[in-house]
Amino acid sequence: MGSVQIVTTILAAAITAVAVWLAVRAVMKIVAVVRLGQPDPERFGDRGTRTKTMLAETAGHTRMLRWSVVGAAHWFVMVGFIVLSLLVLEAYFEVVSPTGGLPLIGGLAVYGLVTELIAVLGTVGIVVLIAIRVRNRPTRPGGRSRFTGSTMWQGYFVEAVVLAVLIMGFVIRGFKVATDHFEYPLWATPVSHAVGALLPDWSAGVSIAALIKIAISMTWLIVIALNVTMGVAWHRFLAFFNIFFKRDPGRAGSGLGALRPMMSQGKPLDFEEADPEKDQFGVAQVEQFTWKGLLDFSTCTECGRCQSQCPAWNTGKPLSPKLLVLSLRDHAYAKAPYLLAGGGKDLTGEEKATAAQLAHMDVLALAEAEKPLIGGAEDGGVIDPDVLWSCTTCGACVEQCPVDIEHVDHIVDMRRYQVLIESSFPSEAGVMLRNLENKGNPWGAPQNTREDWTKGLGFEVPRVGEVDDFEYLFWVGCAGAFEDRAKKTTRAVATLLNEAGVSFAILGEGETCTGDPARRIGNEFVFQMLAQQNVETLNEAFDGRDKSKRKIVATCPHCFNTLGNEYGQLGGEFEVVHHTQLLAHLVSAGRLTPVQPVDGGLTYHDPCYLGRHNRVFAAPREVLGESVAGGITEMPRNSERSFCCGAGGARMWMEEKIGKRINVDRVEEAMSTGARTIAVGCPFCSTMLNDGVNGKGAGEQVEVVDVASVLLRSLKPADAAGEKETATSGS
């Protein structure tokens, strides 16, 4: 060992020791913060499925590759980071000796080939990612980007380190080539040989270059260890755990659908026995999120995919799912010293720490602890109320997040506390909640008018209890029973089922709201009251049948989602289909045959709760494909990337006062296709898009109509005038 190697060895050992010590300390801090969260025992079940999903999403990059160029580049960088860690390890042998290398595999040509290929592709990948970050920088001309609000220096730093480490790998190999100490042939390592041809015959160069590579890598580790909220770096380690512990690993796509029930100490809250002084009602303090919530916040990589897809953000609202998560993350880590020292408020608001403990706590952490979780700028709140109430729960953020952060669940948990304990929510939503409690529907319509939509049909609509047997219970829903446009869809579906010879029955006045708007706004109490009533009614209607014969067809995706995904939490197990699914089956089976396709051009809007939340993309398109001349003209944002109409999350009953109206944005996109008809599969979407069309003054040129009505027109063109849903009717 020469003098150069002695120096490089000592320096490499010293910086590594410091970096490892700081990294261990940082990991212990992250673990301690995550453990502050509430229990969530369901996250540990079905480990086989969890492992399979985690490997598919990480090794297979199944979510990242939805953005093909970014996904491919990121995959090569990720593989490079993992595999080329061996080259960092090899550098420790090279600082000791210019001819050093990894034992066992170090001299194998296949190892040289694989690492060379990965290094080349990793270099190309990181250059692409840098270019994308620069091109989409928040300060660029043309408005906000998905990186708006991200800590940009951290992203540039991480990418620069990756690029530098890759370059230094080629430099080390190049010096080995130049000094004739390289063990791999030209065919396996052509780039390294090309670099070596440019470098001098300097044996010390290997050890010095290896030291520089180690120093760069350890500097990266030191920087992230000193910045535990640096998600752009820490996600490399935390993402595996966050994906493994996602709430529904066996569910296709994002795992959306049902909301998680209100939890207290890891158990669903029983409202009959719940006590606000002993049981947690939603989330009022950051430590009241589950440990998985705190892991979510820690894992965020600030990529902004959620932000780029969010309808609120894209229409000038203050909500960005990314910035919400980052605010919660920064607050959690700033408050952590206070919590870890024994501080915190109990459910009655009393301080847990003693005066002696408080006297020795970090003053900055104490100040952070005094911030309300929800509050305006004047209150010093962590999350502004306008941010909280801008969410439509469309799930676009969860769908796009590459590390499976559960934004919607966290937003609804915060809403629950605001509604149930603080009684703080947009005033106009109060009317809707009172109507749900008193009338069983959000419009406050009389219950005895629930069956009025059946009047004038050319056949009898049977009621449960009036017929001995039926194949499907037709869940009409509140919109389908009371809202003028939606009633036309209800009549169209009933007509089609009758035409196809499907045996069905309705509950009529026995039906009440499923509770979806109450649950999404945060009023779990009203939801459970309505849901338990409906579960009891449905169980009675299906008495004696097993689940496979407890079939429900619903025209509203919100009802469809609640009945099928959430009533199981309350003992209601049913086989629920959306009307477009049933109609697609009837068309494919030849029981409904379109004879005169609708012309004039048509585009289809995917409802969030049908598409993203429940993965029903094909069925409505199959129906429309048979019913429309020339097929469907897709909007740029469709299927899992469909843009929300603005009505979900109980936003249907809240005035949109900030920014551009979401429904107008969506209507403009639909109209840009040139289609004369906008087909929908949801009564909320129908209302919102109709209002958007009217707001654009295009009611005479563009019509919003349900998939069922499109099919009915193609079956019975002579009856089209009677079923036509003009943009102005019912408005």
What is the three-class DSSP state of 345? strand
pLDDT tens by residue, 172-186 = 999 999 999 899 999
Helix (H) or strand (E) holding 678: strand 677-680
What is the DSSP secondary-structure string of 387-418?
HHHT-----HHHHH-TT---HHHHHHHHHHHH
**For the purposes of burial, counting CB atoms within 10 Å of the CB of 576, is it exposed (0-12), middle (13-18) or buried (19 or more)?**
buried
Give the pLDDT band (50/70/90) at residue 289: very high
**Amino acid, res. 655:** E
pLDDT of residue 143: 65
pLDDT of residue 451: 94
Q: Is the pTM of this model over 0.85?
A: yes
- Contact between 605 and 394 (Cβ < 8 Å): no
Closest C-alpha among 57, 41, 42 to residue 252? 57
Q: Which residue has the tokens 């049948």?
A: 545
pLDDT tens by residue, 511-525 = 999 999 999 999 999
* H-helix segments, 289-354: 291-299, 305-309, 311-314, 321-340
What is the DSSP secondary-structure string of 638-663?
-GGGPPP-S-TTTGGGS---SSS-HH
- Does the pLDDT at position 720 exceed 50? no
- Contact between 502 and 586 (Cβ < 8 Å): yes
End-to-end CA distance of the chain: 87
**Amino acid, res. 147:** F
pLDDT tens by residue, 374-415 = 999 999 999 999 999 999 999 999 999 999 999 999 999 999
- Does the pLDDT at position 729 exceed 50? no
Tokens of 342: 């024994």
Closest C-alpha among 723, 730, 583, 704 to residue 645? 704
What whole-number percentage of the chain has pLDDT above 90? 81
- Does the pLDDT at position 207 exceed 90? yes
What is the three-class DSSP state of 310? coil
Give the pLDDT band (50/70/90) at residue 717: low
Phi-psi region of 441 (alpha: psi -120 to 50; beta: other; left: phi over 0): beta
- Contact between 331 and 286 (Cβ < 8 Å): yes
For the chain, the average pLDDT equals 92
Tokens of 491: 């009549």
**Amino acid, res. 272:** E
